[in-house]
Copies of this chain bind each other. A is one copy, B any other.
Amino acid sequence: MKLQVAIDRVSIQKAVQIVELIEGKADIIEVGTSLTKEFGVKALSPIIEAANGTAVLGDIKTCDEGKYEFDLGYKQGFKYLTVMGSSSLGTLQVCAQSAAEHNGLMMIDLLECDEARIEAISGFADAIYCLHTSVDSGATADPVAQVRAFRQRFPQIQHIAIAGGIKQHQLAALAQENIDIVIMGSAITKADDITAACMACRKEMK
């Protein structure tokens, strides 16, 4: 299980400082939607450079114009990009194609997707499907139960990530569930000692 740390609602300068504290310690550094929307993908190079080779995910939440947005993001240096599961199948297909062309990875954000929708978009073998509880709806109560129910319902989906208010004490149990990525946010980035918080989370996952 990889640890993805999401950085949100800070200046680019502050984001760079946070990245310097976690590069090489987090497996994936996420440039959150708030940064992509406030400053734009083209302004994010300093953050990607500060990651110093640690993979960076751009949470660009593509809804349409998939090829344009994904090509832009991969060219900017992102390894992972996100597309909404609620997008059209056509959008998901061109995003998958862009990912393949750029040797990048595609994460499908399942925010608000019902079972029929997930079933309809479950055919992207290389994609990571992100179980995502909306910020506007509060935290995930029991992420392990959520993952198990999802696996039972969609056995055809191989790669799973989970996001939405995950806490450090939930990581040890989650690590047993054979998921690809766990996404943590303010539990690490708002800690007094960001590096220590990141390392403590990693330790739980062993």
Is the C-beta of A190 less than 8 angstroms from some C-beta in chain B?
Answer: no
Distance between Cα atoms of A39 and B38 in the complex (Å): 8
Is the C-beta of A13 less than 8 angstroms from some C-beta in chain B?
Answer: no
Contact check, A41 vs B38: say whether CB atoms are below 8 A apart: yes
Is the C-beta of A189 less than 8 angstroms from some C-beta in chain B?
Answer: no
Q: Which of A16-24, A61-69, A172-180 interfaces with chain B? A: A61-69
Contact check, A38 vs B37: say whether CB atoms are below 8 A apart: no
Query: Looking at chain A's contact residues, is the secondary structure mostly helix, strand, loop, or mixed?
Result: helix
Contact check, A72 vs B40: say whether CB atoms are below 8 A apart: no
User: Given contacts A43-B43, A65-B135, are A87 and B112 in contact (CB under 8 A)?
Assistant: yes
Contacts of A67 in B (CB 8 A): 136
Contact check, A111 vs B64: say whether CB atoms are below 8 A apart: yes
Within the complex, what minimum Cβ distance (angstroms) separates A16 from chain B? 16
Partner of A38 from the list B42, B135, B137 (CB cut-off 8 Å) is B42
- What band does the interface of chain A fall in when counting residues whose beta carbon is under 8 Å from B? 35 or more
User: Given contacts A40-B40, A84-B84, A84-B86, are A34 and B136 in contact (CB under 8 A)?
Assistant: no
Is the C-beta of A201 less than 8 angstroms from some C-beta in chain B?
Answer: no
Contact check, A41 vs B37: say whether CB atoms are below 8 A apart: yes
5 residue pairs of the A-B complex, CB under 8 angstroms, read A37-B37, A38-B41, A61-B63, A64-B135, A91-B134
